[in-house]
Amino acid sequence: MKLAMIGFGQAGGKILDRFLEYDSTRGTGIVGHAVAVNSAKADLMGLDYVPNENRVLIGQSVVKGHGAGTEPELGERCAKEDMEEIQSAIDRMVSSEIDAFLVMAGLGGGTGSGGAPVLAEHLQRLYVEPVYGLGILPARDEGGIYNRNAARSFQRFAEAVDNLLTFDNDAFKTGGESLGEGYAEINAEIITRFGALFSAGEVEALGDNVAESVVDASEIINTLGEHGISSVGYASEPVQTKQQSSGLLDRLRGGNDKNGFSSGGDATNRITSLVRKATLGKLTLQCEVDSTERVLLLVSGPPEALNRKGIDKARKWLESQTDCMEVRAGDYPLPNEDKVAAIVVLSGVTDVPRVKEMQRMAVEAEEKVEEIRSQSKDDLDDLIEYGDDETQ
Ligand code: GDP
């Protein structure tokens, strides 16, 4: 599937950069066009892969290149003021090659939080292609303001896009390391999941290795639908490639028995077990699986490790778990790949405790801001008022 990707704000830009890196190292072609938008000049300059002419600095008259901090209202203003600049960069795409748009942003900050929904609304008005969002939720310990920003942005973004693919930083947080290292690891997790999902639709990349049941761009588009939130599950298991297993050392060790796909039964069991792990393990957005409207299952790996029976069994299991009839499934053979991976897209999920919690944190944060504001006003009044004291 070929996407016109727009990374909004710092997180959005960095994730876009990683998608471009994924394409260049794997030879996939999922990024049909890449545009990074930011109100902070330094963040735009720090990108490695986004072409210079497609890095758009917005809101110079408002924030002078210094970013929008944690104020989505500023991000929104910058986006509205410079929508023409953003549009010019998007116009450079070859539109006949694009299947859909993907607007990416961290929802807890300022530029992406405020700007990404405005851009999505703009794209919806202008193009017939679907417009998807990749919304990054802040970790809980980032605090009230970030969660408040995210709760507001999440609502507007979800209403503006055909589907909001959601990724919760909190669920993938790793302890100890610096913020930068932590984000690098989290961004790698994002690309593993969404890179694999979108490359599935790039059928041309398969060459002679035609999948038994192909998932193409239209299957992904049908699964994502025209309104809703999605969560993605992923699990993988290493296997030896055919090349590795036919090596001399391996033959001396006794050949094929140890190569990881010695029988069809093994392959079937591996697939069903990976699909269970992907669905019941850590999702990009933790949710009740049976509140899903549509499901897409994708199994990738070396052709020898994929089989129809495994995918059929896994699809039936998914139907019963999610209680939904619309389950699409397919495989994606990758010769020389050293792992089998299952990707499960749960589209149209509605029972999501994390979102409810974020909304509660947002209300608390708003009350606290209001309380502090009125307390400060009272304190200031007390400080500057002198008339009454004088008469005493
Ligand atoms: P903006 O530049 O004003 O849009 O704000 P940022 O993108 O810097 O930050 C918004 C939120 O995105 C933060 O609160 C974090 O939760 C998240 N974030 C920032 N950088 C990254 C990143 O590299 N990866 C991920 N996954 N999240 C990030």
Q: Is residue 389 part of a domain?
A: no
Residues 79 and 168 in one domain: yes
Instruction: Tell me the percentage of the chain whose pLDDT exceeds 90.
Output: 74
Residues 245 and 310 in one domain: yes
Q: Is residue 272 part of a domain?
A: yes
* Of 340, 276, 259, 258, the residue nearest 307 (C-alpha): 340
Q: Give the CATH number of the domain where residue 69 resides.
A: 3.40.50.1440
Residues 240 and 176 in one domain: no
Residue-number span of the structural domain to which 95 is assigned: 3-200
* Angle, CA 317 vertex, CA 312 and CA 320 arms, to 5°: 130
Q: Is residue 139 part of a domain?
A: yes
Q: Tell how far the Cα of 370 is from the centroid of ligand 1, in angstroms.
A: 25
Q: Tell how far the Cα of 106 is from the centroid of ligand 1, in angstroms.
A: 5
169 CA closest ligand 1 atom index: 26
Radius of gyration of the chain (CA): 24
Tokens in use for 373?
């504001």
Whether 241 has a binding-site annotation, put simply, is: no
Q: Tell how far the Cα of 101 is from the centroid of ligand 1, in angstroms.
A: 20
pLDDT tens digit string along 97-140?
Answer: 999 999 999 999 999 999 999 999 999 999 999 999 999 999 99
Q: Give the CATH number of the domain where residue 287 resides.
A: 3.30.1330.20
Whether 13 has a binding-site annotation, put simply, is: yes
Whether 10 has a binding-site annotation, put simply, is: yes
Last residue of a domain, one of 145, 180, 200: 200
User: 314 near 297, Cβ under 8 Å?
Assistant: yes
Whether 12 has a binding-site annotation, put simply, is: yes
Residues 173 and 64 in one domain: yes
Contacts of 291 (CB under 8 A, 6+ apart): 349, 350, 351, 352
For ligand 1, residues with CB inside 6 Å are 9-11, 14, 67-68, 105-106, 108-113, 136, 138, 142, 146, 169, 183, 186-187
- Which DSSP helix (H) or strand (E) runs through 229? strand 229-238
Q: Closest Cα to atom 27, ligand 1: which residue?
A: 11
Q: Is residue 81 part of a domain?
A: yes
Residues 109 and 35 in one domain: yes
User: 169 near 93, Cβ under 8 Å?
Assistant: no
Tokens in use for 163?
């589907």
167 CA closest ligand 1 atom index: 26
Q: Tell how far the Cα of 233 is from the centroid of ligand 1, in angstroms.
A: 22
Q: Is residue 37 part of a domain?
A: yes
**Is the per-residue pLDDT at 281 higher than 60?**
yes
Q: Is residue 19 part of a domain?
A: yes
Q: Domains in the chain: how many in total? A: 2
Residues 34 and 131 in one domain: yes
Distance CA 348, CA 226 (A): 10
Residues 105 and 193 in one domain: yes
Last residue of a domain, one of 309, 328, 347: 347
Query: Would you state the torsion angle of the CA atoms of residues 185, 189, 190, 194, taken in this order, to the nearest 10 degrees?
Result: 150
Classify residue 138 by its DSSP letter: P
What ranges in 225-326 are assigned the alpha helix state H?
Answer: 242-245, 248-253, 264-280, 308-322
Residues 12 and 93 in one domain: yes
**What is the mean predicted confidence (pLDDT) over 3-15?**
98
70 CA closest ligand 1 atom index: 3
190 CA closest ligand 1 atom index: 26
pLDDT band at 254 (very low <50, low <70, confident <90, very high): very low
pLDDT tens digit string along 311-361?
Answer: 999 999 999 999 998 999 999 988 888 999 999 999 999 999 999 999 999
Residues 8 and 121 in one domain: yes
Q: Is residue 317 part of a domain?
A: yes
pLDDT tens digit string along 138-193?
Answer: 999 898 999 999 999 999 999 999 999 999 999 998 875 666 778 999 999 999 99
Residues 255 and 316 in one domain: yes
Last residue of a domain, one of 200, 215, 244: 200
Q: Tell how far the Cα of 361 is from the centroid of ligand 1, in angstroms.
A: 18
Q: Is residue 367 part of a domain?
A: no
Residues 178 and 49 in one domain: yes
Q: Which of 15, 111, 136 to mutate to test the pocket of ligand 1 (most atoms within 8 A of CB)?
A: 136
Contacts of 357 (CB under 8 A, 6+ apart): 140
Distance CA 329, CA 251 (A): 35
